[in-house]
Amino acid sequence: MTPFFDTHAHLDYPEYEKDFPEVLARAQAAGITKMISIGTSLESSARAVRLAETFPAIYAAVGWHPSEALAAPADLRPALRGLARHPKVVAIGETGLDYYRLPSAQNGSAADDAHYKKRQAEIFAQQLEVAAELGLNAIIHQRAAFDDTLAQLQPFAGKVRGVFHCFGESVARLEQILALGSLVSYTGIVTFKNGQNIRDAVAATPLDKFMLETDCPYLAPVPYRGQRGEPAFVKEISETVAQVKGCSLDELSAATCRTAHDFFKNLA
Ligand SMILES: [Zn+2]
């Protein structure tokens, strides 16, 4: 079994309440030796830390998702620092900007849009600041907000690296990310019939500049598309990515695991 890591999983979500031991057993059987449970709020981050304390193969990232920005405390930093000092916390996130569904698309006003974007930018800045302070890198979620996201990350270059998770942008944007010393990661979308643009991005990404993730419970790869995702499915993702890169599973395993160890502090 070739070992791989699931660098982005939402293991604290209620989708796993009923059969978590089986989910972990299937991950282990598929060779997925390490998993990072990603926080989307303080509560979710605390649950991720608790999972990391309980299960040796699980690590945690702590952060606040941009889509939940309106529910965030004015100053996220004190509580985030507290969580982030845990020895199994490997990164800050997920954090970033998401303009995909703005309030104006749901009967909101232009002022609502502006307020929502402002809150997202504020909590993103706070999280980058805590990451820099604690020497952690950041897991970046961006949707329909690439330029603004990059502009906020830019001043942190040399201090905080980002992984643009679920990367689905152009090769030109990939190059902008790599120029900042940041990375990308690829999900099950790489296996989708309509995922050719993602496979093109994979082909253009140097072997040492990306990681693999499921973003489970979302984005299950073929042949599980539409079902609940789980970390075991990194296996299917790795097979497609190895094919696209024209490398062996062993080479892909060595490269992506090395990249993860280098990017995620405390990933033992
Ligand atoms: Zn996520």
pLDDT in tens, 217-252: 999 999 999 999 999 999 999 999 999 999 999 999
Q: What pLDDT, on a 0 to 100 scale, did the predictor assign at position 216?
A: 97
pLDDT band at 168 (very low <50, low <70, confident <90, very high): very high
CA distance 15 to 20: 9
Q: What pLDDT, on a 0 to 100 scale, did the predictor assign at position 52?
A: 98
- How confident is the model over 128-143, as pLDDT tens digits? 999 999 999 999 999 9
Q: What would the mean pLDDT of 98-104 be, rounded to a whole number? A: 94
Query: How many angstroms separate the alpha carbon of residue 164 from the centre of ligand 1?
Result: 11
Expressed in angstroms, the distance from the first to the final Cα of the chain is: 20
Q: What pLDDT, on a 0 to 100 scale, did the predictor assign at position 135?
A: 97
Q: What pLDDT, on a 0 to 100 scale, did the predictor assign at position 223?
A: 95
pLDDT surpasses 90 at 122 = yes
Q: What pLDDT, on a 0 to 100 scale, did the predictor assign at position 1?
A: 87
Query: How many angstroms separate the alpha carbon of residue 215 from the centre of ligand 1?
Result: 5
Q: What pLDDT, on a 0 to 100 scale, did the predictor assign at position 45?
A: 98
pLDDT surpasses 90 at 192 = yes
Q: pLDDT over 90 for what percent of the chain? A: 99
Q: Which two tokens stand for residue 222?
A: 């073929």
Q: Which two tokens stand for residue 192?
A: 């989708």
pLDDT surpasses 90 at 28 = yes
Query: How many angstroms separate the alpha carbon of residue 238 from the centre of ligand 1?
Result: 18
Paired residues of 62 in beta bridges? 92
Pairing type for strands 58-62 and 89-98 reads: parallel
Which residues are close to ligand 1, an ion, with C-beta < 5 A? Answer: 215
Of 72, 80, 164, 182, the C-alpha closest to 130 is 80
Query: How many angstroms separate the alpha carbon of residue 8 from the centre of ligand 1?
Result: 6
Q: What average pLDDT is seen over the chain?
A: 97
